[in-house]
Structures are given as structure tokens and as C-alpha cells.
Structure 1
Amino acid sequence: MLNRTYAALLRGINVGGHKKVPMARLRTLLEGLGHGDVRTHLQSGNAVFTADGGDEETLAAGIRQAIEKEFGFAVDVLVRDGAYLRAVAEACPFPAADLEPRQLHVTYFSAPVDEARFAALDRKDFLPEEFRLGDRALYLYAPEGLGRSKLAEILSRPGLTRGIIATSRNWNTVTRLVEMTRD
């Protein structure tokens, strides 16, 4: 079986001193699970690795269990292969090349989401900020950046993400993960 390259996206680690996961230990943990060519990006829970087959959900569950055993706390994990990450980047409905990377974000979801989940939001109230849905992803355009985004604050509320894992990355990280997962 051919090795495939994946990215593990860990949600909510190393933020404000909570759920500390040193990247060196994360790399060792992934190698201990039998994954190869393990690399991390930044301190925010992005790891790239190769694996001999296995589906994304099974890989994510293995990483989630290993993190809980190693560090003593639960962490949501999404695993996506390189082809998916490239497809999400290429499908961006906003003119990424014309925007500053801090203005554009992707939230990756563990399952498909539809417009009905966001029907209660009056999108006009947030202009010029806007979002669009993609394949298990939400693209957010926030011209003043995520820290000042009223729309991002609303979109991150638990009610809108109930029943699914959601984790966001800025456009720099989105494109870096695409580069790192190229086979």
C-alpha cells in the first residue's frame, strides 16, 4: 500500500497556556503511532505525516487517544489528506491572491455542513465581512482580521458547531499545509 500524506489539525492547543502540547513531543507521539516523515508547523497544532492507508477518521481517533494518554487531556483532531487540503485552497471563493493572509481564514469541519445551520444569521449585519461554505469547510473573509471580526465571534459559538469538530486556520497556514502535504 502506498504512503499518503496527511495533516493533523489539533483544535485548541497551546492557546493562553492551556492544553500545552510541545511540538517535539507531538512529533514523537506521531512517530510512535507508526507515522512517517512527521513535521509540525508553528505551535498551534498542525502536523504533517505519512501513513500506510487508513481512513481519516481512524487516523484522527488514534491521534486523539494517544494525546489523551500522553498529556492527560482530550483534544479534538481532524485529519485531512493533501489532496483535500489542495482542493479546499483551490476552491476558495474569495480572491486570496488579492487579500492579506490575515483577512482570510478557513474553518475545517469534521462533517459536511449546509446553509440551514447558519440560516438565523443575517449576513448583511456583518458586511463587509462574509463567509461561504465549501466541502467540509467554511471560508471567512474578515477585512480587519480575525481579532476584530464580529462574524468570527458569532461563527465560533457552540450552537453553530454543535455535533461537529470545527477548527480554523489563517490563509498563511492553509497554504503552508498545502505545500507541506504535496506528495
Structure 2
Amino acid sequence: MPSYCAFFRGINVGGNNQLPMKELTAILESLGCTQVKTYIQSGNAAFDSKSRSRTKLATEITAAIEQAKGFAPLVVLLEQHQLKTIVAANPFPEAEDDHKSLHFFFLTDKAKKPDLAALETLKAADESFQLKDDVFYLHAPSGIGRSKLAAKVDRHLGVATTARNWRTVSTMLELASA
């Protein structure tokens, strides 16, 4: 049975799209997911599912949340082995000691015509980034909150993303492996 990690965009942010993790757990279990574990309130869940189609399962999760809560969040669903590969491919291992400076932007689809040159002009002197497959890695030592580049990632990649810092990504991998 595949183990999955779900990363939701825009849940419990700024008082909008409220979804307590107990309710998220119940929704996932109603879809046949087992061993559900959540991490922090921003929408991260690890679970097992008999479903072999990530796309179908992500669509079912979004529809179930919309039915229960009235909003349809974007969800990026990764199998455990995919997340493990993404973590291993981190181009900024020196940043792993500062979990707040290293961010993973999970793309909902392949970036067909990413404008990396535009992102290059937006980055601060201490920022570095790299696009690898379906992940945009950002090392922002001064913080993501002030990063002009971070605010424009979706626009210049041409695809929706949801971002997580190093601590969240590594914790989610641990939860999926447990």
C-alpha cells in the first residue's frame, strides 16, 4: 500500500479556509486513507492509501474538502519515495542546519516555460534557487517573508505551487516513513 504526503495550499492561513487537522484526518479516513498523521496547522498530512493514482486521489481529497468545508484547496500529493528523492536532490545541503532559510516549492505540474531569468533579477544577493523537475528549491538566508523572488515564483514558473521549509519537509518524510 503506497504511503503518501499531502501538502495543501492556503489552509488555515490568515483566518481563511479553516480546516482543523482533526477534520482533515476524518476526511482522509472517509476516503479510505489509513495511518493518517498531520503536522502543524498549515495543511500537511502523511497517510497510506490503496489508491495507485496520485492524480485521482488528490482530486478526491479536494472534492471531499470542498463538500465538507465549502472551499477546494490545491493539494500536492507525493508518494514517500518521491519525497525521499526530492530531499536527497536538495542542491543546498549547507542550508539544512537553518530550517527557516531552505524552502521547497512543490509544483502542481511541470513548468513548461519557466522564466528563470525574471526570477534571477528578483533574487536578493544572498538568495539562491534551482528548479529540478517538479520542485523549486530556494535558499533565502534573510528569510522568505522579505523575499521578492518567493512572492513571484508561481507567476514566473507559470504553475501553481505550495511551499514548505526544510523542517516541515524532513518531518513529513519521517512521518511517511514511520
- Normalising by structure 2, what TM-score? 0.92
Alignment correspondent of 2:39:
41
Aligned AA (1:110)? T
User: Deviation at 1:147?
Assistant: 1.3
Alignment correspondent of 1:165:
160
Q: In structure 2, what is the Cα distance between the partners aligned to 1:36 and 1:133? A: 33
Alignment of 1:3-152 (within 5 A): 3-96=1-94, 99-113=97-111, 116-123=114-121, 126-152=124-150
Aligned AA (2:165)? N
Instruction: Please list the CA deviations of residues 93-131 of structure 1 after superposition, one character each: whole Å capped at 9, or x if unmatched.
Output: 012465411010000011222674323333485221121
User: 1:98 and 1:106, CA in 2 relative to 1: closer, same or farther beyond 3 A?
Assistant: closer
Identity of aligned residues (%): 38
- Normalising by structure 1, what TM-score? 0.90
User: 1:143 and 1:26, CA in 2 relative to 1: closer, same or farther beyond 3 A?
Assistant: same
User: 1:7 and 1:98, CA in 2 relative to 1: closer, same or farther beyond 3 A?
Assistant: closer
Aligned AA (1:37)? Q
User: Deviation at 1:161?
Assistant: 4.7
User: 1:101 and 1:125, CA in 2 relative to 1: closer, same or farther beyond 3 A?
Assistant: closer
Alignment correspondent of 1:179:
174
Kept in 1, the 8 Å contact 2:122–2:149? The answer is no
User: Deviation at 1:24?
Assistant: 0.2
Kept in 2, the 8 Å contact 1:130–1:151? The answer is no
Structure 1: which 5+ runs fail to align? none
Greater Cα shift, 119-128 or 147-156: 119-128
Q: In structure 2, what is the Cα distance between the partners aligned to 1:97 and 1:140? A: 10
Aligned AA (2:31)? L
Greater Cα shift, 117-126 or 106-115: 117-126
Aligned AA (2:108)? S
Greater Cα shift, 109-118 or 130-139: 109-118
Kept in 2, the 8 Å contact 1:114–1:133? The answer is no
Kept in 1, the 8 Å contact 2:123–2:148? The answer is no
Kept in 2, the 8 Å contact 1:96–1:104? The answer is no
Q: In structure 2, what is the Cα distance between the partners aligned to 1:83 and 1:58? A: 18
Aligned AA (1:167)? T
Aligned positions, number: 178
User: Deviation at 1:29?
Assistant: 0.5
